[in-house]
Amino acid sequence: MSEQRDEHAASVLRALIRISRRGVADARTAGIRLSLADQSIVAFIVDNPGSRSTDIAREFLLNRSTVSRQLANLTRLGVVREATDAAGRGRPLELTPAGWDAYRESLGILQNVVDAQMGDWSDAEVAAFAAALARFNAAHVPTATADAASAPTTPQENPHK
């Protein structure tokens, strides 16, 4: 890569870190305060219905005991529970009604931040940015599901809410 490309790539990384930090700080104004790790796990469960703690550990490259502690906290908060699995395999996870409320509230807060940041952007600029981010994210192949592209990404798209 050229030096200029390296600088641009580093700028993208710094911007993504700032966006993540800001989003977590803003989302902590929600009724149920979720850390970045909590938000990531909740979003993973939404995007991957029926996922298990081992799927989360594999996706985030974490030790299973780390995931277990995170899930214990989310369970204590009343956000996540183990679902009954008819096949009897493992312990699939799901959001509780309070978990869905927390998820939707966090998404709403974050969406308001994005909308405010892009308030003076044209529709074409928003579309171009969305396309660039989609391309950027498409480079990652999820490990926990065979087809994450078809997984619901918003509460409106998820029939399990």
Confidence class of residue 140 from pLDDT cuts 50, 70 and 90? confident
More confident residue, 98 or 150: 98
More confident residue, 42 or 113: 42
Contact 56, 67 (CB under 8 A): yes
- The reported pLDDT for the residue numbered 45 is 98
Q: Which domains does the chain have, with CATH numbers?
A: 3-143 (1.10.10.10)
Say whether pLDDT at 154 is over 60. no
Which residues face 80 on adjacent strands?
Answer: 95
Over residues 69-95, the mean pLDDT reads 87
- The reported pLDDT for the residue numbered 86 is 55
> In a 10 Å sphere around its CB, with 0-12 CB exposed, 13-18 middle and 19+ buried, how is residue 90 labelled?
middle
Contact 67, 115 (CB under 8 A): no
- The reported pLDDT for the residue numbered 141 is 61
Contacts of 131 (CB under 8 A, 6+ apart): none
- The reported pLDDT for the residue numbered 122 is 98
Contact 96, 81 (CB under 8 A): yes
Q: What angle do CA 81, 83, 89 make, to 5 degrees?
A: 125
Say whether pLDDT at 148 is over 60. no
Nearest Cα to Cα of residue 155 among 99, 77, 80: 99
Say whether pLDDT at 26 is over 60. yes
Over residues 66-90, the mean pLDDT reads 87
